[in-house]
Structure 1
Amino acid sequence: MSATVQKEAEAHVNEASSQANSITATPTSWKRRLLARKKIIIFTMVGVVALGLGLGLGIGLSQAACTGAKPTSTSTPSPSPSSKASIIQPSVGTTWDYPLGFSLTTSNANSSTIFYPVDLENTSANTITALKNAGHTVICYFSAGSVEDYREDAGDFPSEAIGNTLDGWPDEKWLDIRNVKVREVMATRIASAASKGCVGVDPDNIDGYTNKPGFDLTEDDTVDYVRYMAETAHNAGLAYGLKNGGAIVDRVVDVAQWAINEECAEYNECADWAPFIEAGKPVFHVEYTDDDDATTVSPSKLSKACAADGQSGFSSVVKHYSLDNWIVYC
């Protein structure tokens, strides 16, 4: 408070006190006026003091801002969801097998093979737990772009979302991946994978737009679908892997933890998958023999399967088309 303001306030108080002492019988109305006057003076003094404090605080804060000092924050950053924090990221070069043509158990699993996709519907939670306890990384496979007549949830797909039959697979038809109900079924499958104990998912047949699905699907539709499933998987605490779909690698490598590719060496497409290796994410690559009864692989076939252009860093194997328990590692 300034000296001038303080003196004026004191003068008002002294004047009021003198008048009050000189009157012995003051009418009630005058007492009220005198009391009101005293209150006004007191409030004035309080206001002046508050103004002085406010100005001093404002100057102090301004000086702090100018010198780079900042008030201490009491807010706490929101933690990331624990489910997302636990999502696995396999390393480049991780060994793998693709045992979809037989029932994988701890008794027939290769102890040196780490990464195993297993069929979601046909593999029990107990088997998945046993495989994980044996040191394997177990993920759940399902078809995301087609309906298989023999699956338990085949009747959950609306008829308007079911398209043409897949070439070579008479019990399987393409799906309209834009359909809301189709996406709901996939979300349920992802939830089932999590409840069974799988640590990731392997959704197949996402590239219907490169075939003849019976719907006017586009590359953009596929990218949107992949991102939807990746987000759904991540929210469930599961990793997501891109299956085939080489044309969209650059657009979805950021949301996938690995890629699974079939026969990029055969079709000279391995370079399409290099962005995964560059991002520190594995490419699980399989080439197939021409004969499902083959017990060996010719040197030329093995050379092509294991050393194609753009294949550096891949986890490559050779298998029968039936994906039975036969494998040659590169």
Structure 2
Amino acid sequence: MIGVVSLALGLGLGIGLTRACPAPKSSTSTRSPSSQAAVIQPTVGTTWDYPLGFSLTTANANKSTIFYPVDLENTSADTIGALKSAGHTIVCYFSAGSVEDYRQDASEFPASAIGNTLDGWPDEKWVDHRNAKVREIMAARIQSASDKGCVGVDPDNIDGYTNDSGFDLTEDDTVNYVQYLAETAHAAGLAYGLKNSGAIVDRVVDVAEWAINEQCAEYKECADWAPFVKAGKPVFHVEYTEDDDATSVSASKLAEACAADGQSGFSTIVKHMTLDNWIVYC
């Protein structure tokens, strides 16, 4: 049932055919799209890992793992190209709902759009994603992902409305923002993945090519993500160990992670919360 830790050999599944995305219906995108832009559509069950805590290279990538989100700013175009040539699907990760002090474009965020500090992340603050300049910055990040050769984007922290962001964000605001990010990505020829925010799945499943979920088994929310699988789109699901030095997973934890109610068809892995190069595959 399970793989083995650290570079385990799982059964890799291909990403499937590209599909045509219609041009954006609104004018929110900063780029003029062609009438149709082909974007990838990964298949349900595609294998994945979440290597945000270490530098992924062709030397340490699992040859049988297909889908890898990598840090947009810290991963070079050469590395992305090499990983793609080795058969991996590489998408670019960035935070779309916060400003991180150490990012190159941090100084571009207007002070009026910077809110409260994220709980547990002292160098990261929520941003008001309704702000036009914030959206302009995100559009530039999406274009950078395209320029570097990523085939999709993984924008994080879109769920400010469920947190103490410092702004009066609503669920409707978040749906609008997801639609903006997806349209902007599609206009650049990139796929878009929804990160967390299970409450809005039914409203945005049609604009996303996949979902990434953290800990739906622990919080008993996996059924919220089932519409993606029903639509033929993968759910990349990760559960975390309590101990970042753990070298194994208990049978009870593995059962919880790999067989939670509502997660049929999910691509599930167990990792340290540091997202280092340690993994257990379901």
TM interval, shorter chain, is 0.7 to 0.9
> Does residue 1:324 correspond to 2:279, yes or no?
no
Picking from 91, 96, 100, the partner of 2:48 is 96
Question: 2:165 corresponds to which residue?
Answer: 213
What secondary structure, in the 3-state scheme, does the structure 2 residue paired with 1:228 have? helix
Question: 2:175 corresponds to which residue?
Answer: 223
Picking from 151, 168, 179, the partner of 2:120 is 168
Question: 2:246 corresponds to which residue?
Answer: 294
> Does residue 1:121 correspond to 2:68, yes or no?
no
CA contact (8 A) 1:243 1:260 kept: yes
Q: Higher helix proportion, which one?
A: 1
Question: 2:88 corresponds to which residue?
Answer: 136
Q: Higher strand proportion, which one?
A: 2
Q: CA deviation at 1:86?
A: 2.2
CA distance in 2, matches of 1:277, 1:156: 38
Deviations 1:260-314 (A, max 9, x none): 0000000000000000000000000000000000000000000000000000000
- Alignment map for 1:35-184 (pairs within 5 Å): 84-184=36-136
What secondary structure, in the 3-state scheme, does the structure 2 residue paired with 1:195 have? helix
Q: CA deviation at 1:161?
A: 0.1
Question: 1:191 corresponds to which residue?
Answer: 143
CA distance in 1, matches of 2:99, 2:36: 29
CA contact (8 A) 1:118 1:139 kept: yes
What secondary structure, in the 3-state scheme, does the structure 1 residue paired with 2:40 have? coil
Q: CA deviation at 1:83?
A: 8.2
What secondary structure, in the 3-state scheme, does the structure 2 residue paired with 1:206 have? coil
Aligned residues: 252
What secondary structure, in the 3-state scheme, does the structure 1 residue paired with 2:194 have? strand
CA distance in 2, matches of 1:122, 1:82: 30
CA RMSD for the aligned pairs? Answer: 1.2
CA distance in 2, matches of 1:232, 1:85: 11
TM-score between both structures, scaled by the size of structure 2: 0.88
Question: 1:247 corresponds to which residue?
Answer: 199
Q: Among the aligned pairs, what percent are the same residue? A: 82
Greater Rg by CA:
1
TM-score between both structures, scaled by the size of structure 1: 0.75
CA distance in 2, matches of 1:245, 1:282: 16
Gaps of 5+ in 1: 1-78
CA distance in 1, matches of 2:254, 2:36: 39
State the AA in 1 paired with 2:164.
Answer: K
What secondary structure, in the 3-state scheme, does the structure 2 residue paired with 1:212 have? coil
Picking from 193, 204, 211, the partner of 1:259 is 211
